[in-house]
Amino acid sequence: MMKVKEDKLRTRFRDTYTALMWLRNNRERFEGNVYEPMMLVINVRDARHAKYVESHIPLNDLKAFVFQRQDDMEKFMTEVRDTQKLRVNSIIAPAESCSKRPPSRPLDTLKRYGFFSYLRELFDAPEEVMSYLCYQYKVNDVPIGTEKTKNMIEMVIREVQIRMIYTAEEKYNVKKSNYSNNVVSSNSALRPSQFLTTTIDADERRQLEEQLRAAERQVQSIDQRMAAIREQQAKLDRRDNELRAKKKKLSELKGKKRQLEQKISTKQDSLRQMEQNEINLEAIEEETNAKIAAVNNKKVAIMGEYLSHMQVKARLSMEKVYLALQSAGLSAEKTKLETDCRDGSAELKRAEVAYTKLDQAKTSLLETCKTLMRRAIQICNMTPGETAVPEELHAAFSQLPDTLDEIDAMLNEEKTRADCFTGLSDAVVEEYNRREQEIQNMEKELDDKTNALTTYRRNIAEAKERWLNPLKQLVDQINERFSDFFRSMQCAGEVDLHSENEEEYDKYGIRIRVKFRSSTQLHELTPHHQSGGERSVSTMLYLMALQELNRCPFRVVDEINQGMDPVNERRVFDIVVRTACGVNTSQYFFITPKNLTYAEQMTILCVHNGPYMLPPNKWNEKTFIRRAKRRQTH
């Protein structure tokens, strides 16, 4: 694969390839790291992502040599540019490495917009090369998105606020105006990779595969021989292990024999020494027995003293236990008596307070009853000694409720009624009559205005129907022509009359929606969803759909191919030619430098201009055509 890349470099950039060969032959002349052109040292992990890397890094840097030291770069440029006169590019890596610089925000915060990686994670490169790309082109902070990102690109530009964004097929540059703070974005379609992806020669691959199969057969034969050798080696290893085990066993027996001989020799020496130093065992035994008897007597005396002390200790412990139990019982009894005393005192205080309150309440109730009795006698005009209630009062009391609560409720109701009539005057009555008349007048005025509004709305509906229906028919005609043009290009498009609210007539507008890929949905024509070429195609086809409604003697189309890729350029040109060559159509003038397919109804005018053109009197058309044909045959 490196050879294929070098062949591309030799074909497209001969001077860079010559400098590369010189560098490989003279690498020992440089002290620091020197890297070959970036297009050779960059390894894109997935060939599908090469278009992002190649679109982001300019071509001059892709074919540039990368140096770690400034003096090495000056030495290299002096040789290849000044001495050999080669046109090559070189760059110096940053003094401080930027290859591990983190992005401005974690990728997890961008995944909901369809971003799956930053540009740096899509390829591998040496330390200095990656450091330069992160420093110069911010590859660590350029997110790569999918089709989902494109579908919601307006939200992405508004919320993410990143200067450069890649979607599945487009590149977006986002800038903020220094004067109005408005966000301005531009996009362009991505081109296929030319240098970072390579194709494989099928014949060469077939030859290599045949060589590989032959090598595999040879390896298989060698593996069989190796298996036989390994089997033989295994047998020899087992025999060697058996002999080693036998040798080890003999060595152990030899060591044991040597140890036994040493022990026998030691015992013999000890025996000879003991024979030389004879000991009187009887005297020693008597002396030892005497010492043992004395020690035993001391032990008996100590044990007797110890037993007496233990008896005293046991008696004292029993007395201690009895005293502790008596103390615990007395403490519990004392606590109970104190608690009973406190409870009795509190109960006595509560009883005294309750008795005092009861006595006071009894006295107060008696006084209240006496007072009420005196007032009742006065109200009923009874003498102090009279006890019977008069007949008229008895009849009045019989109509009142029986309970005190019901009587209180009845009193409150009567008081409320009486309060409602407080302050009633003739002015209040006049104000009531005047307000009632005003209400009648306002109701009549409301009916009149309702009738006028109904008439006004009916007139508006009739006027709206008179102009809106023809307008919709006109838009339908434009939509039919526009859709036909897109169907001829194997795409989809439609035009409709759009308004958020039908009553807001100043906000009516024409909405254009297009779809250039079968896997996507119809999207409104905006600077964000479509590339520049797609917008040019849509605009041109919309203008052609409008031309059917406006008759004019001739039309001029200048530079129709600007912003279009070759495929869309040819499609649009074919549609324009087919429309212009129809019956009863306007005369068209096309101004384009492209060599496209022309119809028989067209007249071709070749305009030759420039400082090196021949004068008209020296121009020979036949000679020119003859030379062109001869050049094509060669």
Look up residue 478 and give its two tokens: 């434009």
Closest CA to 120 of 112, 136, 111, 148: 136
CA-to-CA dists, residue 127 to 29, 92, 381, angstroms? 21, 13, 120
pTM confidence score: 0.38
pLDDT of 76 reads 93
d(CA 502, CA 508): 8
Q: Is residue 36 part of a domain?
A: yes
Q: Looking at 200, 226, 245, which one is the last position of a domain?
A: 200
**pLDDT, tens digit, for every residue of 258-282?**
888 888 888 888 777 776 766 666 7
Q: Is residue 353 part of a domain?
A: no
pLDDT of 93 reads 93
d(CA 166, CA 55): 10
Q: Look up the domain containing 23 and give its range.
A: 1-200
d(CA 569, CA 295): 127
First to last CA, the chain: 33
Closest CA to 62 of 74, 48, 50: 50
Q: Looking at 171, 200, 229, which one is the last position of a domain?
A: 200
Q: Looking at 150, 178, 200, which one is the last position of a domain?
A: 200
Domain count, the chain: 2
**pLDDT, tens digit, for every residue of 319-368?**
776 776 676 667 677 777 777 777 777 777 776 676 677 667 667 777 77
Ramachandran area for residue 610 (φ above 0: left; ψ -120 to 50: alpha; else beta): left
CB 544 within 8 A of CB 579: yes
Backbone angles phi, psi at 225, to 5 degrees: -65, -40
Look up residue 442 and give its two tokens: 């306002």
Q: Is residue 93 part of a domain?
A: yes
CA-to-CA dists, residue 513 to 407, 473, 492, 529, angstroms? 82, 18, 8, 11
Q: Is residue 349 part of a domain?
A: no
490: CATH: 3.40.50.300
Relative to beta strand 34-35, strand 43-44 is unpaired
Neighbours of 122 (CB within 10 A): 21
Those residues whose C-beta lies under 8 Å from the C-beta of residue 381, and which sit 6 or more positions away, are 390
Q: Is residue 614 part of a domain?
A: no
Walk along the chain (634 residues) in steps of 10 and give the mean pLDDT of each run. 85 92 93 92 88 91 93 93 92 91 90 92 92 93 92 86 88 78 83 75 75 91 91 90 90 88 85 71 78 81 78 74 70 72 74 70 72 72 63 68 74 70 63 82 88 87 85 88 85 87 82 84 81 80 78 78 74 79 79 71 79 77 84 76
Q: Is residue 166 part of a domain?
A: yes
Q: Is residue 234 part of a domain?
A: no
DSSP state of 105: S
Those residues whose C-beta lies under 8 Å from the C-beta of residue 75, and which sit 6 or more positions away, are 29, 30
Q: Is residue 132 part of a domain?
A: yes
